[in-house]
Structure 1
Amino acid sequence: MKYSLSLISLLLSGLVAVEGLSIFGDSQKVLGGGAVPGDNPLTFCQETHDDDLLTLEKVDLSPNPPKAGEPLYIKATGTLKRDITVDDNAIVDIVVKYGFIKLLSTQADLCEQIKNVDMECPIKKGPITIMKEVQLPKEIPPGKYNVHANAITTDADKKEKDHITCLEATVQFGG
């Protein structure tokens, strides 16, 4: 499961942080907000994401679809509208399902996860580029995976949480 948490965090946290379970395959279902630009199976969770702190410009995975036992190369670019600091208490809520079976439901500290992509908090406002190579385990079971990852700030001093970004993917891995 460390691979799942890490890969989702890379895409969200460096863009907002990960290094993990590669669940991305060759099948994509557009869920609500449209496809994330680039060669990837990601979609935005909602139709409107103009208020997100992170504007994702492009995410490329190579190979796409990834292959078990081989390296996955990730390149993601975006623009952060404001600094994200430790005081923001930024988190990433992640749910991974294998078909209808929930494999993982967790909440991760964004500033901890961002270290997996050689970044640290504060994450400075402006352009962000993440490049990461992840060695995928050959034991990844083939099948349909559903992923939902939502990154927000949870600063107690603010009345409202700031939405960083939310991504989803429904993919078929292997077989």
Structure 2
Amino acid sequence: MRFFSAAFVAALSASNLVSAGSWFDSGDVTVNDAKKVPGDSPLQFCDTDHSRDTVQIEKVDLLPNPPESGSKLVIHATGTVYEPIEQGAYVKLTVKYGLIRLISTTADLCEQVDNVDLKCPIEKGVLSITKDVDIPKEVPPGTYNVFADVYNSDDTPITCLEASVTFGSKKKSTEAVESGGEL
């Protein structure tokens, strides 16, 4: 599966995964309010100390939320970069489908941010990103859990994000009932 960098530097990594290969559909989104990234998205901060993060994510919005397969997803993210993000920055990414690990890899963050028209080094300051993504029609139903731990080239933490999305449960049931079909 390919990655897509969408949303703000750190959210880039986790949101990248949004379109990386069908992570979102019109299903249920589980979010712990205490860890929730501000905005309208399923992103949450990991259970780690974020006091040393070089990026403060202020808001991530998805339109529509939840995203729908076969449609366009608009991702808008804002935040502040406190230290430059240099060549060599990376993301440790894990994607699970239920209990099955689909992806466990380390990817070059600077290669990914190129997808949202950014280049490393990313300088200090306020950053706002908007990106349109086409979500594929073929999204297998089930729960997807995405975990992205993002680091700068010197191993200082940029951020850590996670998301959990359940696909296909409500939409297919609703469509079957509306069309008079069996569940």
TM more than 0.5: yes
Q: Which runs of 5+ in 1 are unaligned?
A: 156-160
Say how many residue pairs are matched.
Answer: 163
Measure how far apart 1:15 and its partner are.
4.9
**CA–CA distance in 2 between the matches of 1:174 and 1:96?**
18
Within 5 Å, give how 1:43-54 maps onto structure 2.
43-46=44-47, 48-54=49-55
Secondary structure of the structure 1 residue equivalent to 2:111: helix
Equivalence for 1:153: 152
Equivalence for 2:9: 13
Equivalence for 1:42: 43
Measure how far apart 1:142 and its partner are.
1.6
**CA–CA distance in 2 between the matches of 1:47 and 1:134?**
29
Q: Which runs of 5+ in 2 are unaligned?
A: 170-183
Instruction: Sort the Cα spacing of 1:79 and 1:15 in 2 relative to 1 into closer, same or farther, 3 A.
Output: farther
**CA–CA distance in 1 between the matches of 2:85 and 2:48?**
24
Within 5 Å, give how 1:64-143 maps onto structure 2.
64-86=65-87, 89-143=88-142
Measure how far apart 1:120 and its partner are.
0.5
Bigger Rg over Cα: 2
**CA–CA distance in 1 between the matches of 2:98 and 2:73?**
23
Check conservation: 2:7, 2:130, Cα contact below 8 A. Answer: no
Check conservation: 1:16, 1:54, Cα contact below 8 A. Answer: no
User: In structure 2, which of residues 157, 161, 164 is the aligned counterpart of residue 167 of structure 1?
Assistant: 161
Secondary structure of the structure 2 residue equivalent to 1:103: strand
TM-score between the two structures when normalised by the length of structure 1? 0.85
User: Identity of counterpart residues, as a percentage?
Assistant: 49
Matched AA of 1:10: A
**CA–CA distance in 1 between the matches of 2:44 and 2:144?**
14
Query: Moved runs in structure 1, 4+ residues, more than 2 A?
Result: 9-22
**CA–CA distance in 2 between the matches of 1:69 and 1:29?**
24
TM-score between the two structures when normalised by the length of structure 2? 0.82
Measure how far apart 1:23 and its partner are.
1.6
